[in-house]
Amino acid sequence: MHGGGDYDVFVTKLCLGAIMSITLSSAPSTNNQSVCINTAITPITYTTTGATGATVTGLPAGVTGSFASDTVTISGTPMASGTFNYTVTLTGGCDSVSASGTIVVDVCTSINEQTVSYGFLVYPNPSQGQFTIQSEKGGVFDLIDITGKVLNTYIITSNVQTINENLPAGMYFIREKQSGFTQKLIVQ
């Protein structure tokens, strides 16, 4: 017994759970994407370790997050427009581990309204090098870099064609040759 009334107190927190981690496992930049309302998002997946579950908050109506076999999957078709900053929080381990991203849902106009304004539609934008050109009649389209150099020309015979390009991140332009209408394309 101490005579002066002074006692030393030690508090130790023990964690018997696993160390958790979360890593984006779907294509780069799928955790930050833009889509038109009522159009399915590109599924977003995260690989986890040490977690027994996950919660996902901040998603637009129509998009859900699920956890199975150490994988978090976010998928669905947004039914509301706006900017949705979501957070994936792992459960069951020692630490507080989370990941976040943004889904921007635009109210896109019909192709007829877009054609009057722009002549054609390019989506998704931003993209990872795979994008779709949509127009009423097709046409000839140039892919142009920021210096004005034509990198590729596409002859589109239908009203929709998906293009795959291995492009470094940056700003590009898609120009319809006949009308001269040009739209910016961002590659992430």
DSSP 80-129: S-EEEEEEEEEESSSS--EEEEEEEEE-PPPHHHHHHHHSSEEESSSBSS
Is 51:97 a contact under the CB 8 Å cutoff?
A: yes
Is 105:85 a contact under the CB 8 Å cutoff?
A: no
Q: What is the pLDDT of residues 69-127, one digit of tens each?
A: 999 999 998 988 889 999 999 998 778 899 999 998 887 654 444 444 456 888 888 88
**Rounded to an integer, what distance in angstroms lies between the CA atom of residue 171 and that of residue 76?**
28
Q: What is the pLDDT of residues 4-48, one digit of tens each?
A: 566 666 555 556 557 899 999 988 778 888 887 878 888 999 999
In 3D space, the residue among 42, 123, 107 whose CA is nearest the CA of residue 76 turns out to be 42
